Amino acid sequence: MNKFYLEIITPEKKFYADEVEKLKLPTSAGECLILANHQPMVFALEPGTLVLTQSGEAKEAFTSEGFVEIRPDAVVVFSQAVEWPEDIDEHRAREAQERAQEQLRLLKSEAEFQLNKRAMQRAFARLKLKKGGHFFRQ
């Protein structure tokens, strides 16, 4: 399978930089799979789970909001935060989720609603990945 160079960059660090075969991303238009030799493109990322496949082995990671740039020489993911499942702080994510739920109850304006929706999305995505989907089956 053809490979392409993938870089994942967050404000804190360079999270990943290596050759991969496949990359699956959560975008605002749904899930999106990138293979080698993709057309140059930019699109926005939603909080969720990204899956990268390297030498046949799939790895999952949490990603926050951001955007992806597909260039001829590389695919670069810019995200506010990317974490491997083992690095996710479950306690913090749960707290964030509760906070967002509480705020949602107090619902004030459209803008605040959007902000909360994002916070909730992030919390859910983290918890989902951490528990391997268990959270939603409960």
Partner 1 sequence: MADSTELKHRIRSIKDTHQITKAMELISISKLRKVIQKQSFSSIYFDNVRYTVKDILLHSSDVINPYTQKRMGNRTAYIVIAGDKGLCGSYNSDVLKLAWQDIQTKPEHYVITVGQMARSFFESKERSIDLAFTHAVTNPTLHDARGITRDILNLYNRNLMDEVFLVFTHMYSASFRKPEIIRLLPVLPEDIQMDVKPTFSGDILYDQAPNEILKIIVPQYLIGLIYSALIHASASEHTARRTAMSNANQNADKILDELNLQYNKLRQDKITTELADLSAGRI
Residues in touch with partner 1 (CB under 8 A): 9-14, 27-29, 39-45, 65-67, 69, 71-74, 76, 78, 80, 111, 115
Residue 123, token pair as written in the block: 């919390």
- What minimum distance in Å lies between the beta carbon of 34 and partner 1? 11
Q: How far apart are CA 38 and CA 125, in angstroms?
A: 27
CB closer to partner 1 out of 38 and 131: 38
Between the two ends of the chain, the Cα-to-Cα distance in Å is: 38
Q: How far apart are CA 96 and CA 23, in angstroms?
A: 28
Q: How far apart are CA 58 and CA 23, in angstroms?
A: 9
CB closer to partner 1 out of 44 and 58: 44
CB closer to partner 1 out of 10 and 97: 10
- What minimum distance in Å lies between the beta carbon of 57 and partner 1? 27
Helix (H) or strand (E) holding 24: strand 22-27
- What minimum distance in Å lies between the beta carbon of 138 and partner 1? 31
